[in-house]
Structure 1
Amino acid sequence: MPTDPPPPWVLTRRQEIGTRIRAAREAAGLTQIQLAEMAGLDHKTIHRIEYAITDPSLTMLIRIAAALDTALADLVRT
């Protein structure tokens, strides 16, 4: 595993994904706590993903997309 900080474009992409998740959550009328419960995650994890504080795993993204009833591709598109 790389220990160096990721290049700036990686953080930008993480922020874009977090913004899409937040927008989809808000459009669905859900709080972070509600989304977390539906996805089987901690609400702090949802916050960290939405604000690009943490690197979400593929499993987390799949669970979030399913909870939001949206395609994973819509959340991570470039």
Structure 2
Amino acid sequence: MPSDPLPEWVLTRRREIGDHIRAARTAAKLSQEQLAERVDLDRKTINRIEQGTHSTGVDHLIRIAHALDVPLADLVR
């Protein structure tokens, strides 16, 4: 049985978090590939997270924040 679609506000927040990750990554002068290697994900997954099309878990967000040397709160604010 398919689940209900996510509300638009959830998708909007997911895109905002992706924007924060992209901004932190570019400020760190890292490519998506370099970030992916640091957090043991593939580049496509990093791209999907940044685009807001992938629902990522808190463990991945913690690893991304650590790899970018930014507080987790900065990514999800």
TM-score range, shorter chain: over 0.9
Aligned length: 76
RMSD between aligned residues: 1.1
Partner of 2:47: 47
* TM-score, normalised by the number of residues in structure 2: 0.95
User: Structure 1: any 5+ residue segments left out of the alignment?
Assistant: none
Alpha-carbon distance in structure 2 between the residues aligned to 1:42 and 1:7? 27
Sequence identity (%): 63
User: Structure 2: any 5+ residue segments left out of the alignment?
Assistant: none
User: Deviations for 1:3-45, whole angstroms, at most 9, x for unmatched residues?
Assistant: 1111000000000000000000000000000000011111111
* TM-score, normalised by the number of residues in structure 1: 0.93
**Which consecutive aligned stretches of 4+ in structure 1 deviate over 6 angstroms post-superposition?**
none
Structure with more relative contact order (C-alpha pairs < 8 Å, separation 6 or more)? 2
